[in-house]
Amino acid sequence: MTYETVHFIKGEEVASSGDKRQDIYNPATGEVIGSLHLGGPEELKKVVEVAKEASKSWAELSLAKRTAVLFRFRELLVAKTDELAEIVVREHGKVFSDAKGEIARGQEIVEYACGITNLISGAYTPQAATGIDAYSMRQPLGVVAGITPFNFPVMIQLWMAPLAIATGNAFILKPSERDPGAANFIAKLWKEAGLPDGVFNVLHGDKEMVDGLLTHPDVEGISFVGSTPIAKYVYETGVVHGKRVQALGGAKNHALIMPDADMDVVADHLSAAAFGAAGQRCMAISVAVAVGDAAEVTIEKVAEQAKDIKVSNGMDKDADMGPLITPVSRDRVKRIITEAEEAGAAVVVDGRDLVVEGHENGYFVGPTILDKVKTEMAAYGEEVFGPVLVVVRVESLAEGIELINSNPFGNGTCIFTSSGAAARRFTRDIKVGMVGVNVPLPVPLANHSFGGWNDSLFGEHHVYGEEGVQFYTRKKAITQRWPEPKQASGASFNFESRNND
Ligand code: NAD
């Protein structure tokens, strides 16, 4: 029995007028479980019109009323976490506890957005000149769109929509075609929370719908998260069409391991950061940069952990890791491992031949560790986005920092050490947006904003936090005078100086 996933526009599920469809798979079984309606020009036109109309009255609603919706939405998200997590596991493949974890991280942004009254307050400067007060306010952009990747079908839309909505915009979500179900489930939660119809909409589709949003004159802002080539394309196309764009791209996150690190901590955290969610996290650690003697012990201990990881269907209670998202991803990951081996890398733990009993058609690759990897190999140079940890050896902290800084990506990184001085040098010199000290997945809290550097982010603003509020609003500065009758003194034709008022 398969299901159909359609658009969600103006508070209702809406089928495509055309017949463009895409199969939805369960990556753990390889079975087709649903059919997704991909939008065309008609759906695009309708969703933008609806959002434009809804944005006007929503922006006029008091902050108190907007906040009340956010509080209710947060409660529903908590109450329905298990149901939502099951959808994520079914279409994405990650393990159930991890799916719940991504919902919890998204929930943090909803909670942050509940404080919008405080976040949106502007500045006031009384008596800037005699009888003149100056103040500033932030106003919504109008219609904004979020284009999201497959790997966090809940969390990433929640990086965007809560703040876009709290600041008074209407939001159009264009989720990944590969796991679209969470988007519709969440759309219904927004409705149940009392959000007026048309303020949160879901438009399913592929490149055609992305291009439609990027070029539509009534879409003012685009938040994108996905791979680097598409992020760059989205940024460039959106900007050329006069939009504000934040486009987060791919990653190649390095963990630098100093010889003085607590190696048990390294083993626990590195294996979880490399193999959790089958390596399909933008913050996954995919390169271990071992300094001096750290290499042998790191490899030995992480390899022990890797061999104990239970790979299975994400709904299995003891599963630690699930499948990759598509057979194409699985085959690509295996090819990259094989090419590295042929070029001289040592395959310390090999996940290529893994077969999960009862799930022979699932897209599984087991945890894999590659040692003696050279920077010219694709295993190092490309974002593998699979459960593959690559080990590169360096002689010093300085050499490790230089290696990381020469990588074109700059999303996340971390250092494992017991030296405060090494940690301080690392955090100051590294050219990466999110840095951990003995924390391998340094995903920032809601108030610290999320974003990488270099090829991991195109645009000025990080997502969520203060930068999220800024992204979804325009600043307006007001200078006001309320003259009393006796002050009227005729027109002045000079640019007024505040010193000579
Ligand atoms: P993707 O780039 O293939 O897709 C992302 C979105 O872009 C989807 O909605 C998709 O429909 C759309 N898209 C795909 N091809 C397009 C095209 N040619 N033109 C216009 N739109 C297109 O990414 P993915 O495979 O879904 O997700 C994995 C990638 O996302 C990885 O590179 C990962 O590092 C990255 N990612 C980055 C972050 C971050 O915060 N920097 C977070 C999560 C994922």
Residues 80-120: tens digit of each pLDDT: 999 999 999 999 999 999 999 999 999 999 999 999 999 99
Rounded to two decimals, what is the model's pTM? 0.96
Which residue numbers in the chain have pLDDT < 50? 500
H helices of 137-262, where? 155-166, 181-192, 207-215, 228-240
Q: What structural domains does the chain harbor?
A: 3-249+456-477 (3.40.605.10), 253-437 (3.40.309.10)
Residue ID of nearest Cα to ligand 1 atom 34: 250
Residue ID of nearest Cα to ligand 1 atom 17: 207
**Any residues with Cβ below 6 Å from ligand 1, and which?**
147-152, 174, 176-177, 206-207, 210, 225-227, 230, 248-251, 282, 383, 385, 411, 452, 456
Give the atom of ligand 1 at the shortest distance from the alpha carbon of 176: 9
Query: CA-to-CA distance for 142 and 299, rounded, in angstroms?
Result: 52
CA of 254 to the centre of ligand 1 (A): 21
Give the model's pLDDT for residue 477: 97
Phi, psi dihedral angles at 135 (to 5 degrees): -150, 165
Give the atom of ligand 1 at the shortest distance from the alpha carbon of 178: 26
Token digits of residue 162:
């809560």
**Probe residue for ligand 1, chosen from 282, 324, 409, 432 as the CB with the greatest number of ligand atoms within 8 Å:** 282
Give the atom of ligand 1 at the shortest distance from the alpha carbon of 250: 34
3-state secondary structure 208-242: HHHHHHHHCCCCCEEEEECCHHHHHHHHHHHHHCC
CA of 457 to the centre of ligand 1 (A): 12
**Probe residue for ligand 1, chosen from 176, 326, 457 as the CB with the greatest number of ligand atoms within 8 Å:** 176
A 10 A CB-CB count for 446 gives 22
Is residue 414 annotated as part of the catalytic site, yes or no? no
A 10 A CB-CB count for 418 gives 13
CA of 428 to the centre of ligand 1 (A): 30
Residue ID of nearest Cα to ligand 1 atom 27: 149
Query: CA-to-CA distance for 272 and 280, rounded, in angstroms?
Result: 12
| Set 255, 272, 282, 284: catalytic member | 282
CA of 177 to the centre of ligand 1 (A): 10
CA of 344 to the centre of ligand 1 (A): 31
pLDDT in tens, 169-223: 999 999 999 999 999 999 999 999 999 999 999 999 999 999 999 999 999 999 9
- Determine the 3-state secondary structure of 425 from DSSP: helix
Give the model's pLDDT for residue 409: 97
Phi, psi dihedral angles at 318 (to 5 degrees): -95, 5
DSSP code string of 24-52: EEETTTTEEEEEEEPP-HHHHHHHHHHHH
Give the atom of ligand 1 at the shortest distance from the alpha carbon of 248: 41
Closest CA to 492 of 129, 210, 97, 207: 129
CA of 277 to the centre of ligand 1 (A): 16
Containing 263, the helix (H) or strand (E) segment is helix 263-275
Query: CA-to-CA distance for 177 and 189, rounded, in angstroms?
Result: 20
